[in-house]
Structure formats: structure tokens, C-alpha cells
Chain A
Amino acid sequence: MPTPTDPAPAAVAEPAPASSAEPPVIEFVDVEKRFGDNVVLKDLNFSVRRGERVTLIGPSGSGKTTILRLVMTLEELTGGYIYIDGEPLTHQQRDGKRVPVPKKQQKKLRTRIGMVFQQFNLFPNMTVLENIIEAPIHVLGQSKKDAVAKAHSLLEQVGLPDKAEAHPTSLSGGQQQRVAIARALAMDPEILLLDEVTSALDPEVVGDVLNILRQVADTTNVTMLIVTHEMAFARDVSHKVMMFDGGRVVEEGHPEKIFTNPEHERTQKFLSAVLGES
């Protein structure tokens, strides 16, 4: 199990606190994902330490989003293993065979993972408040009073203190995404998966959403796995950037290094295309 540790040149983002005894929060071992005959990810090995923020970049179709979806168990893992806090998420080895883990264990691990989607995916039949308190009450077993109090403070944090009773469809895209962030944070996740969270937003509200995420990064120790096309954001918040192409990691390292001095030709090409430099 190769666990690539970052040599971390002078850090812009503060380095993640790492304790050598603790297992990685996320670990991919020989992960393979295929849709039918189409191999999307192949022999993928990497790990993420607690509190680390990792951004996945690369052309579309390179498998970045699939990685987040595998961690969230939205896609079936067709080969290899994913460990969360050292425990197998979908499959484990038993007597030399690859067998699925009990559903109960998967559910338990999954409550530690939160996800924010490109299309927000708020429940349109519930109010903003109901969206946020549903899972804390019915999954985590919090009292309604606690869940509501927490929801209000999260809404404050994302700048929507007066929208608790609003319906999602009456909100703008940027506001919906801020509610979605609050909804994910209400579960106190160890791991937050951000799947192109600003791609569906109008350009003028992208900044607001990213600022909220910066603030979350600054004030919590939540581990983040980020897929984004916002390179400035990636550079600001991540400890590590992984460049994907064709289902493989082409290059990985500290954002400063990847963005200013990429080694691999594929990364150079991709970045110059995205950043509009020649």
C-alpha cells in the first residue's frame, strides 16, 4: 500500500496535522472503476490524512468526480479497496477473497462523510430548515431543539440567517448551494466531498460560495476532497493537488509547486488551457 506523503515545500496553506499512529482518513488501494467495458479508474492508490485538503484536477472524463462518488458510495467499486479511518468501506479481504462489507458497517462509515453536489440537490418539498435538520434528527438521533439551533447557526455562517422557512426553489443558485453546504456541515462530517460546487453557479456568486468554503477550511479540521475548476481556490485551500488524466494520477504535490512549476507535460498543458495562459 503506497501512501504517498507530501514532501510539502513551504506551505501557503497550513500543513495538515499528521500523527503517524493514526490511519489515513481516506485510503484508496488498487482501486479500479469500470462502467461496463469502460475503465474509468485504474490501479489507483492514494491516501488523505486527517484534516488534509486535497484537490483533484484534470480534464473532464479523467475520473475525478468518480473518486468522490466512490467515497460517497454512490458508485459501486468494481475493484480494489477504499478505507475510511482504516476500516473497509465497500469491500474487504477475507480468506484471500474480496468480499462486500456488511451493510451496517458501510452505513456507519458513511455517516462520517458529507457531500456537496454541483446541482445542490436540496429537497424541494422541504423548507431550508427541514432540509438541514432532517438527517441530524433521523440519522444521528439529535433532539429537534439541538438540530434547529445548530441549523440556525449554520445558516448564519453561510450568510442566510433569514431563509430558514424559505423553500429551496425560491432561492438563487448561490443561496441554494450555501444551504447545501450548511446541510452537509450539520452532520458534522469528518470528510467533506465537494463536487464542482461552483460549476452551476452564476460567475458573480462563485466568490461568495468559495469564501464560505475557505472559512470552513480555516475554522474546522474537516478533511476535504475537492473537485473544482477554480484553480485560485484550489491553490488557496488545498494542502495537496492531484492531477488526473485517463483515470491515473499524472502528478501530485503541493499546490504551489503544481501551479507554478508542474513537472509533467500533461499538467503543464492542462493548466495553461484552464488558466488561459499560453
Chain B
Amino acid sequence: MTHHNLLAQEADVPADQPTTGPWWDWAFAWEILPDMLTAFVQFTLLVTVVGTLIAAVLGLVIAILIMVLPRPLAWLVRWVANFIRMTPIVVQLILLFWAFLWLDALTIGIIVFGVHYATYMSEVYRAGIESVPKGQWEATTALSMNAVRTWRRVVIPQALRSTIPSLGNYAISMFKDTPFLYAIGVTEMVTLAVGEIGGTTFRYNEAVTIAGLIFLAASYPTAVLINRLEKRLAYAH
């Protein structure tokens, strides 16, 4: 085993297993690529996309509830959200996996990622809502707009404008957290690379590198997209 492979240190290398071969094998890389892409789309991407949608919607709901609920209830919501945010996502994955054994691991994963990141996003939304000038609220009162119209037409659209970059960053962050799904037995891309491919062939370099490149290839355009969206949402001054 070469010293490059930190991830592989736990694997027991049988004495008779040859550990020779080139540091990088193109043919092997080519061979494992389809499986890795499949795992990426099937798990990593699915959890990220659905998880982000849940987080974006639930985060907004949490932020609004904290602002509109009567005080004791608002405190309860805030406390629960803080609790979720302050505990590691791996712990939540494992606990919920064992608490809801009848649900499949992928569903648990999506829910945990969605809810966990919702608590982060709710803070972003809260800041966005608080950044809407007081005069905007006063104008809605002066026009007798009801609470629903006020939120829907005035506050949320203006709050979102300043939150898009942070929400996007949390989406990317969630994306990079998906390897934690390993803890509940979901063979997403990194688990496949390290556990399945690396564990059975004792070749890690190709799989881990490909996994990293796929992450980069997906994150970078997303970041660019968020940047563009942010610019489009900014008002012309």
C-alpha cells in the first residue's frame, strides 16, 4: 500500500495480494466510470436535489413561523431548529435510521439532509426577511394588504434576493456532505469508490480521484449558475 492512500489504511492487505501495478491505470479508471456515474446520479444527485428542495421550502416555513407565531411557540420552533443545527448530521442519520427501520435508507437520507439544512437555511431567510426595510412593511399597512399578500408579494420576493447566494452555498455544502450516507448503508459515489471498488480491488487512486472530479464538475457550474441568478435578481441601479 502506498502512502498516498490515507483512506485505505484501515483495509487489511492480505500478504499474498500483489500491491504492484501503476499508480494510475487508465483502463481501470475507464472501466469503473459508468458505475460511479450511476451511483452519483442515483444517490448523490438525488439526495442533493430533493434535499435542497425540502430545505429551501422548510427553511422558509421555519423562518416565517418564528416570526409570526406567538412567543412561546416561536421559541419552541427556534429551539428545535437550533438543536437540529447543533448536532452532527451523521448522528441524525444513524438515529433516524434506527428509529424508522421501516423506511428505506435513501428516504431517511433525503429527509435528514433536507431537515438539517432547512435549519441552516431558515437562518439565512431570517436575515433576508430582516433586511427588508421597515418602510416596505409600512407601505403594505398603508395599502391595507393582508398578511398573506404582504409576505407573498412584498417580503418574500425581496428577502429571497439577498439570500440566493447563501442558499446556493448551503446546497453545495449539502452536496459535499452526501458521503455521510455511508453511515446508513447507502452506497453513494464515495462509498462506492472507497468501500466497494477500493475494498475489492485495492485500487483507490482512480476511484477516489474520479469521485473528486465528479464533485468538482457538478459544484463548479452550480456555483456559476448561482452567481448568474444572483446578478439577475439584483435590481438595476
Contact = CB atoms under 8 A, between A and B. Distances in A.
B187 to A, nearest CB: 44
Interface in A93-110: 107, 110
A247 B143 CA distance: 27
A183 to B, nearest CB: 7
Interface extent on B, as a size class? 20 to 34
Contact of B139 (A122, A125, A138): A122
Contacts of B144: 107, 110-111, 135, 139, 187
Contact of A167 (B142, B158, B236): B236
B138 interface: yes
A12 B139 CA distance: 33
B161 interface: yes
Interface string B110-150: 00000000000000000000000101101101111110010
A203 B146 CA distance: 36
Interface residues of A, number: 27
B49 interface: no
Contacts of A187: 143-144
Interface in A66-83: 72-74
B235 A114 contact: no
Interface of A: 72-74, 107, 110-111, 113-115, 117, 119, 121-126, 134-135, 138-139, 167, 169-170, 183-184, 187
B139 to A, nearest CB: 4
A125 B154 contact: yes
B231 interface: no
Contacts of A122: 139
29 contacts: A73-B141, A74-B141, A74-B142, A110-B144, A113-B142, A114-B143, A117-B135, A117-B139, A117-B142, A119-B135, A121-B133, A121-B135, A121-B139, A123-B136, A123-B139, A123-B154, A123-B158, A124-B158, A125-B154, A125-B161, A125-B235, A135-B143, A138-B146, A139-B143, A169-B236, A170-B236, A183-B143, A184-B142, A187-B144
